[in-house]
Structure 1
């Protein structure tokens, strides 16, 4: 192939990457207008891209889901810290609902393509932003003289990054010895089980309230480590976690109850 020419696939990738970009005028100080413009742009772009059923489409959908999430948070922060009229408040509510609607459509499309949003990764990006903002604010504060005034640091209303603890910390049992017994029995029964069975086990433990106060990321990483299992992708875990009951659900639940009853775990 002539080195001066690019393939159709490369042209498509460039086209999709250009769709991901946004005019700088949209990202103005008025976050309500910005959200409205973003919703309209993404709707228009999606009509051009939805015919492509491949990885490029998946990357685009994930990127736009995150962008919508970020813009919604920006708009909410803007409205809470600035006086806006009732009319503009209604416009904000409408645009947020439209943005969420598009997010839901994109999430369903990702599932149909065998993928999903990586919300834990999005949370990490928000947490990283907060850290950078704190560092920048601290630097400005240190350079400011005592007689000067500085604006209060405003954090993006993102969700905090999950800190993965030991698996036993997520179990509902009160006694440490019962937590240890339970993990030992899970290891004996499921350490070498198929990934699908492990994921179903985690989902059942969560649905039964045996695992509590944990994100998908915390559940996957802590129990993979506790059971000595090889790590899998977060996306694969999340996908099965969202699915309904499988043919193995009843058997796994029965085994869990046997472990609890046989070891008198309460």
Structure 2
């Protein structure tokens, strides 16, 4: 099967791994810290509500975040961890009405976010037909991660997330190798490479390994990124105008949100075109 025709091969459903802010208690606006910078117009310590957070847990400047200097908020993606912590782990008890839950809720949120990010990647790997040789292990990993996300707050904060990431990454890397092996010819290996500001316009990057590559402000206009492994690649301010990302693997919405693109940029079906493009 060609890389352009990676048919779904299992029941991996990523809808629950997309943020549902209406069912979250504004956790990303409270639990996480941010520092005054090009991404945030003000400092905020962890555990303190953002000044723009309303009483109904909605953002008071949501439509104008970039204009108000909070572009960092438009890039963040919790992978659905916010609603899981709010509605499942804490059973719908919000931190304002139940202040006793606040500290633990804010501790659990970043742990859950990492677990949900792993679930996203493992679920995607299960949709990659060439990765069938590792699907059994991927399903086992998916089931285990899902069970862990449903534990109580105390068990969640005690998890060794680094170890879990290491175990999952070994499977994801194997899945990546199987998928990219279907691309004929020699593939580029830019894993962890410093490609900040690189001129890659129109580049053929099919099947390339771009894991963890620094592509900040890189020119990828019209580049062919089909079947490229993009896990952890830093696309901040990268130009993806006219680039073909269909069939790329392990690309996330947060990465797209951090980049620049246009109507001609081709995206994987599971992701959406950012509003600021």
TM-score for the superposition, normalised by structure 1: 0.29
Larger Rg: 1
Relative to its length, the structure with more helix (as a share) is 1
Q: Which has the higher contact order (CA 8 A, sep 6+)?
A: 1
